Chains A and B, each alone.
Chain A
Amino acid sequence: MKSKTSRGYLLNTVIVVVLFIGFQILTSLKGSEGSFKLVIVPSIWQCCYLMVLAASLNLVLGFMGQLSLGHCGFMAIGAYTAALLSLACERAGLFENKSDLSFLLVLIASVLAAGILAALLSFLIGIPALRLKGDYLAIITLGFGMIIINIINNLPFCGQDGLAQGSAAASLYKNGLGFGSKAKVQFLWFALVVTILSLTLMFMFVRSKYGRAIRAIRDDEIAASASGVNTSYYKVLTFAYSAFFAGVAGALYSCTNATLSTSSFAFTNGGILNSTFVVVMVVLGGMGSLTGSVVAATIMFFVNYQIKNGAWVEHLPASVSGVFEYPMLVYALVLIIVILFRPKGIFGSYEFSLQNLIPDIRRARERRKAAKAERKEAQAHG
């Protein structure tokens, strides 16, 4: 049993490293090509932060069973923390351009600071909010998501449109975290490393004693408490852990984008970054499956990208392409279809793993066969 898990870890590590090196070779070969530089690399960046964001919400929503509707608020905190910190470092003269070694240190510090500040704020909200249950938590987090946007808007150094206007925007773009397309290729490895590390840390969390405790809370809070699980403690801890990675996702976001604007994290935002949109990703992937969240984030990014940029959209009749002007309608349809036909999401609570892939498929097929036979028998008996 034990050797099997360690073999699984080894297998996963080897595959991740091989894929990573493959990517590096690809990047160095095609790094200067137009479509690779302008389309594929930015897409990978976006997928990276969406994966981390969806997986982090899954900890709270899927594994702990608490509905949080303000996840993008934590992401906004992370994005602004990272952007402002890197700008401050640049003004202080800690680095001159992005090839400096000191810039790498600033980058790492910004990502960490983004996560830590988001986690700290989630503590403040989580301690009173998580004593409440169900709908109340949803309402409080929904309110938080809106309030934090207003707070950032009213901070003197962020402004109404955030760092999008004036000299701050230009310097963020050039000198702070905002990466141009060349820098995105140059730092692609960093996005991949941060994503892999974040996902690994979340996997370790749900596999650990903590993961078992929060799944117990999801299934039955009274029984969990009677089994000696300190439910309030674990709820606040998981909320903060999840917010940490939402903050990290925010830092990646501020690297991806040339400008920062609070409206892109707002609840009313019709784009891809919206707290409900993240919920859709988690439900689509399967509540309680981190690999499901990763897959769903990629799918939703692709859908979003195709709706907005796909060449085929132009060839559609006007009535259909008219709907695409309102992407939220499409996401709502996706959510309804998922709930109707596959309420558990793509993966349910199943975790994809290469090592177990073949035996799992075999087992699933056997189960389906058994269910079919049972149904037949039931029919035969009337």
Chain B
Amino acid sequence: MLEVNNLNVFYGAIHALKGISLTVGDGELVSLIGANGAGKTTTLHAISGLLPIASGSILLDGKELQKIPSHKIISLGLAHVPEGRHVFARMTVEENLRMGAYIQRDQKSIQKNLDKVYEYFPRLKERWKQLAGTLSGGEQQMLATGRALMTDPTIVLMDEPSMGLSPLLVKEIFSIIETLHRNGITILLVEQNAKMALAVSDRAYVLETGTISMSGKAEELANDDRVRKAYLGA
């Protein structure tokens, strides 16, 4: 479904991604783990067109994403949940969700998706009239995720959904990710919490200073000595 070939990205003179290749199959949950500054977020930003790429190709169902401006990529069924809970702080929860469906015109399908998101996140329904900026961290993460689901995406890029959340909320977020996965949504997950990420994923890639150092089935990686030492603290 998503195929990234030999991707190179520069920040000025800094070579941030050095020829990354990865694939995400239909309905798969693939995670991208690695330390701070390894290039995980950069990879997602490059895929969804928020960053220009120097060379390489990004194919979504055979279409070259690098030639499409970022605001049009969403209409191809790729949704991006940015890192750090980018919600529209001065809009209400429901307005935030409706912004997610910005490119859609059909009111009926918007309402249908809204109901679906409220089903995934009952807590958002309770607070539909509240300003997003006044939500707790976990609720903001739910809102950012819910907003991405408003377009009925076939693939979702999730950037550090567990960042800054209490362990209990991390569990809740991951159980939601698993639910989405079970419902057939393809997910590319970027996480620092390697343990949780590997526990829910089908496959995983390990990113180290801009290159992919390891890849394979999630369980195998979780049992790999090098991964355990570097990322799982065991």
Contact = CB atoms under 8 A, between A and B. Distances in A.
A228 interface: yes
A227 B99 contact: yes
Contacts of B100: 227
A226 B48 contact: yes
Contacts of B90: 215, 218-219, 288, 349
B82 interface: yes
Interface in A129-155: none
Interface string B72-86: 101100011110001
B128 to A, nearest CB: 14
Interface string A210-245: 001101101110111111111100000000000000
Contacts of A224: 88, 99
A42 to B, nearest CB: 38
B95 interface: yes
Contacts of A349: 90
B70 A225 contact: yes
A134 to B, nearest CB: 17
Interface residues of A, number: 20
Contacts of B50: 222, 225-226
Contacts of A229: 71, 99, 102
Contacts, number: 70
A222 B82 contact: yes
Contacts of A218: 90
B165 interface: no
Which of A216, A224, A231 counts the most chain B CB atoms within 10 A?
Answer: A216
B203 interface: no
Given A222-B50, A222-B82, A223-B144, A228 B103 contact: yes
Interface residues of B, number: 28
Contacts of B86: 220, 222-223, 226
Nearest to B151: A228
Contacts of B79: 226
Nearest to A288: B90
Nearest to A234: B71
Interface in B75-122: 75, 79-82, 86-91, 95, 98-100, 102-103
Given A212-B95, A216-B99, A226 B80 contact: yes
Contact of B88 (A215, A225, A228, A230): A215
Interface string B55-76: 0000000000000011110110
Contacts of A228: 71-72, 74-75, 102-103, 151
Interface centre among A223, A224, A229 (most CB of B within 10 A): A223
A220 B144 CA distance: 12
Interface in B116-169: 144, 147-148, 151
A5 B82 CA distance: 35
A226 B74 contact: yes
Given A213-B102, A219-B90, A226 B95 contact: no
26 contacts: A209-B102, A212-B99, A213-B102, A215-B88, A215-B90, A215-B91, A216-B88, A218-B90, A219-B90, A220-B88, A222-B50, A222-B86, A223-B82, A224-B88, A225-B50, A226-B50, A226-B81, A226-B86, A227-B102, A227-B103, A228-B71, A228-B75, A228-B103, A228-B151, A230-B72, A231-B71
Interface of A: 209, 212-213, 215-216, 218-220, 222-231, 288, 349
Closest 9 CB pairs of A and B: A223-B86, A219-B88, A228-B103, A228-B74, A230-B71, A226-B80, A220-B86, A228-B102, A225-B70
